[in-house]
Each structure stands twice: as structure tokens, then as C-alpha cells.
Amino acid sequence: MRGARAAQEIRGPRPGTRIRLPAWTATLTWKAAVFITLMCCGLAALLGTLVHDAMTRQTVGVARERALAKLERITDLYESGASTPRGEGVRAAGVPPELRALAASGKRGTAVGEHRGRSAMWAAGPADRGQVIAASVDYSGSEETIADLDRAILGSSALAIGGTLLIGAFGVTRITRRLHQTAQVARRISAGDLDARVNGSPRGKDEVAAVSSALDTMASSLQRKLESERRFTADVAHELRTPLTGLNAAAELLPPGRPAELVRDRVQAMRSLTEDLLEISRLDTRSERVELDSYDLPTLAARAIAASAPSPTNPTSLVIESTPLRVETDRRRLERILGNLIANAHKHGAAPVTVTVDGRTLTVTDAGPGYPDYLLTGGPQRFRTEGMNKGHGLGLTIAAGQARTLGATLTFTNPPPGGAQARLTLPDPPRQHPTPP
């Protein structure tokens, strides 16, 4: 699969390790907060508008009635020949022009204007000889009442929006926190921690509790099936060891010849497959113990190359790009990983095969067609060999399992312009705490 350019990283998960979720997982909380805020603002604006309009109509209506009533009194005074209040009557000054025009046309009306420098509600109507008679009442108090009402509406709306937002955010946060916990457990399960469970409250009866319960049930079922598969694999491998040992002994008794060589070769292949299955079973149960010691990394790489029995016509090159480094590691497991990677490069790739040592990183490259797509996206899978010409798919599976045991990072890529690359990065040494004097 030369065109594939994805990468797959195999890293050993630690059961119980908290997996930090990315920042975008809080999107639901922010969306809910924005939705609640917009709804509260819309509702507050609607209610405030309705209250403002109702109170304004009522206040203006009262002022108009007062102005019209005063106009009636002034009209009666004018018609009886009595004097009218200064600034009102037919000599009123400050009548809004549109109201004066309306009265001149023979109709009565009201309008807001000014009288003696203050806001006033004017009422005007027709008088004899084409004159206009008008009266006004103080309207500044009504305007202040409407302004106070608007301020009260804004204040109460802000308090209502803030309180609703806090309460809604608290409720939404509780839900999203449970969803985040469920997602975290799902990630831990996908990373290999099959003991992870949500274990939600038994009193929860909502949809989130149903999802959490379904995830726990799925994890338990998956764990049982995987444990059953592991036990079956281990039992089959154990049961095959005894007859294979006898078969190997019987093959040694065959007379020399091509048939005997073929039998011995197939018996050896079956024994190697059985040992691989047993090793995978031990890795699956995570019962392996790491025996650390200090080693020279280039020397370990050279030992792994020598143990892989390279062909004289197709040797494995060793390149050291940095100062030789001593590492704390398990020699047997590291040589097993490198041996499997080198063997896979020779079996499924093409020359030249190179092992590069750079600090704590070892890289095995070849010039073959590259790793298949499924391996780059999902990692090695036992007995899956699409895109490979032969084998059981156990070599890379064991290498990935041993890397997890060592706490190392194993990455598979197809770098341009072609070929395959397996990069093994050993973990950093533990920090040495200073000893108190």
C-alpha cells in the first residue's frame, strides 16, 4: 500500500489513567449557555416591550384626559367671557404646530410639547372666528414615570437573565459532566482498559443514565468475550505444545532426506506459531514483568540484527545518528521488538533494510510497498495479513504488545516517497529525587 500516508501509534495504556478530553468537548455547555441566554433575552425583550407599551398607553391616556378636561374648563371660561390662565386659551403660546393645524381644521386633539420650559400635554380645539383655543397639563412627571419603568424593566430583566443563566448552566453542566465522564470511560475502554466503568447513580432514570448503563453493559460483555478468547487461545497453545514436542522428536527419527526436512520445517513453524500465541496470551493478560537494566542501545540494536539471521545478499544496515546512549530497559523484550520489526521488513518489504539509532529512538525502514491501510489506521491485528504476501500477522502484534509492556511508543508510517517505517521510542528515565541531607 505505497499510497497510504497515515500513521498509527501504539502506546501502552495505564488502567485507571485519567484521559484529558479536548477543549471542543465543552461545546455543548457553551451552546446551551448561549441558547439559554438568547431565549432569556428574547423573552425579557418581549415582556419588557409589552409592559412598556401598556404602561405608556395608560400614562399617555391619563395625561390626555386631564388635558382635554382642562380644555373644557378653559373653553367654558372663554365662552362666558371670563379670563383664562396666562399662556393658555386663544392666546396660548407653545402649541405644537401639528396640533394647531388640527384645531384650525375644526377638530380637537392632543400632542406632547413644551410649556414654560417643561414637557407638557397640550389639548387644542376650534374657537369662534377661526381661532384656536388650547390648554396644557404638566407631562414631565409622566415621562419620569415611564423612564423609571424602563429602568426597572431593564434591571429586572438583567437579574432574571443572570439567574436563569446560572441555574440553566448548573443544570446543563451536570448533564455534560456526566456525558464527559461517559466519553472518558469509552476512551479508556477503546485504549484497552476493559475494567473502566461509568457506574452511574442507580436513581438516574434519564437518557444520560441509559447511555451510561448501556456503555457499562457493552464493556462487561466485551470484557467477557475477550477474556474467553484469550483463555481459548492460551488453552489451545498449551494443548498443542505437548503433541508438537512429540512430533518434533518423531521427526528427528526420520531417515535423512527431503521428506524429513519438510516435516521438520513444518513442525518448527507450528512450534513458533504456538510460542507466539502463548506470548500474545501473556501480553493480553498484562501479567508480564519488566526486568530493567542498563544497556548500550547501539549494542542492543546490533545484537537484534545479528539474531535475525539476515541473508548475506540482503543484510540489515545499522546507522547511528547520535552519541551512543545507555538506557534502562528490558533487553529480551527490546530485542524481541526489533527482531520482529526487522523480520517483517525483510519478509514483506524490500531492500535496503536499515535500523537507525537516534537518542532513545530506533527506526526500522525498508523500501517495500509500505504498510497496509488497516495497519496504519487501526494498528497490527493478529491473523490479519491483507497487503502482505505471507505470515500470520503475529510478529507486529507481539512487537506492539511488548512496546506497551515497556511503556514505549511504537509508530507505523509510510514516509514519502515510499517504503515502510516503524519508529520505537523508549520512555524517558524516571526522575531522580534528591536525597535529603
CATH of the domain at 219: 1.10.287.130
User: What is the grid cell recorded at 277?
Assistant: 500465541
388 has a pLDDT exceeding 70? no
DSSP assignment of 82-102, as one string? PPPPTT-BTT-----HHHHHH
> Which of 127, 155, 190 represents a domain boundary (last residue)?
190
> Which of 157, 190, 223 represents a domain boundary (last residue)?
190
42 has a pLDDT exceeding 80? yes
Q: Would 204 be classed as within a structural domain?
A: no
- Which of 384, 437, 433, 427 has the alpha carbon at shortest distance from 404? 427
Q: How far apart are CA 181 and CA 391, in angstroms?
A: 41
Q: Between these two residues, 46 and 281, which has the higher pLDDT value? A: 46
Indicate the angle between helix axes 27-79 and 140-190, nearest 10 degrees: 170
Q: Would 104 be classed as within a structural domain?
A: yes
Average pLDDT over residues 375-394: 68
Residues 228 and 158 in one domain: no
Residues 251 and 321 in one domain: no
Domain that holds residue 135: 20-190
**pLDDT tens digit string along 178-202?**
888 888 888 888 776 778 888 765 5
Q: Would 82 be classed as within a structural domain?
A: yes
Q: Between these two residues, 207 and 220, which has the higher pLDDT value? A: 220
174 has a pLDDT exceeding 70? yes
Residues 68 and 128 in one domain: yes
Report the pLDDT value the prediction gives residue 356, as an integer from 0 to 100: 92
Q: How many CA atoms lie within 13 A of 142 on its CB side?
A: 20
Residues 184 and 263 in one domain: no
Report the pLDDT value the prediction gives residue 389, as an integer from 0 to 100: 54
Indicate the angle between helix axes 331-348 and 395-406, nearest 10 degrees: 150
Residues 35 and 79 in one domain: yes
pTM of the model as a whole: 0.50
Residues 75 and 186 in one domain: yes
Report the pLDDT value the prediction gives residue 93, as an integer from 0 to 100: 80
Q: Would 274 be classed as within a structural domain?
A: yes
Q: How far apart are CA 368 and CA 346, in angstroms?
A: 9
Residue 319 DSSP one-character state: E
> Which of 158, 190, 222 represents a domain boundary (last residue)?
190
Q: Would 365 be classed as within a structural domain?
A: yes
Cβ-defined contacts of 15-20 (< 8 Å, 24+): 15/188, 15/193, 15/195, 15/196, 16/193, 16/196, 17/188, 17/193, 18/184, 19/184, 19/187, 19/188, 19/191
10 has a pLDDT exceeding 50? no
311 has a pLDDT exceeding 80? no
166 has a pLDDT exceeding 70? yes
Residues 339 and 259 in one domain: no
Q: How far apart are CA 366 and CA 345, in angstroms?
A: 6
Q: Would 202 be classed as within a structural domain?
A: no
Q: Would 197 be classed as within a structural domain?
A: no
Structural domain tally of the chain?
3
Report the pLDDT value the prediction gives residue 165, as an integer from 0 to 100: 77
In sequence order, which residues have a C-beta less than 8 Å from that of residue 248 and are 6 or more positions away?
264, 267, 268, 271
Report the pLDDT value the prediction gives residue 203, as an integer from 0 to 100: 56
Q: Between these two residues, 275 and 152, which has the higher pLDDT value? A: 152
Residues 32 and 98 in one domain: yes
Rg over CA atoms, the chain: 44
Q: How far apart are CA 217 and CA 186, in angstroms?
A: 12
Report the pLDDT value the prediction gives residue 363, as an integer from 0 to 100: 93
Report the pLDDT value the prediction gives residue 204, as an integer from 0 to 100: 58
Residues 257 and 125 in one domain: no
387 has a pLDDT exceeding 60? no
Kindly report the CATH number assigned to the domain that includes residue 297: 3.30.565.10
Cβ-contact 77, 135 below 8 angstroms: no
If DSSP codes are grouped into helix, strand and coil, which group holds residue 363? strand
Report the pLDDT value the prediction gives residue 414, as an integer from 0 to 100: 92
Q: Would 198 be classed as within a structural domain?
A: no
Q: How far apart are CA 377 and CA 414, in angstroms?
A: 12
Highest mean pLDDT pick, 68-82, 197-211, 329-343: 329-343
Residue 117 CB burial class (10 angstroms; 0-12, 13-18, ≥19): exposed
Q: Band of the pLDDT at 355, cuts 50, 70, 90? A: very high
Report the pLDDT value the prediction gives residue 240, as an integer from 0 to 100: 72
Q: Between these two residues, 396 and 6, which has the higher pLDDT value? A: 396
CB atoms within 10 A of CB 198: 20
Q: Band of the pLDDT at 431, cuts 50, 70, 90? A: low
**pLDDT tens digit string along 126-161?**
888 778 888 888 888 888 888 888 888 888 888 888
Q: How many CA atoms lie within 13 A of 181 on its CB side?
A: 17
Report the pLDDT value the prediction gives residue 287, as an integer from 0 to 100: 66
Residues 299 and 343 in one domain: yes
Residues 231 and 362 in one domain: no
**pLDDT tens digit string along 216-249?**
888 888 888 877 777 776 677 677 777 777 777 7
Q: Band of the pLDDT at 434, cuts 50, 70, 90? A: low
**Which of the residue ranges 45-54, 171-180, 264-273 would you say has the lowest mean pLDDT?**
264-273
**pLDDT tens digit string along 86-103?**
778 887 888 888 988 888
Cβ-contact 361, 404 below 8 angstroms: no
Residues 329 and 275 in one domain: no
- Which of 313, 370, 362 has the alpha carbon at shortest distance from 335? 362
Q: Between these two residues, 263 and 302, which has the higher pLDDT value? A: 302
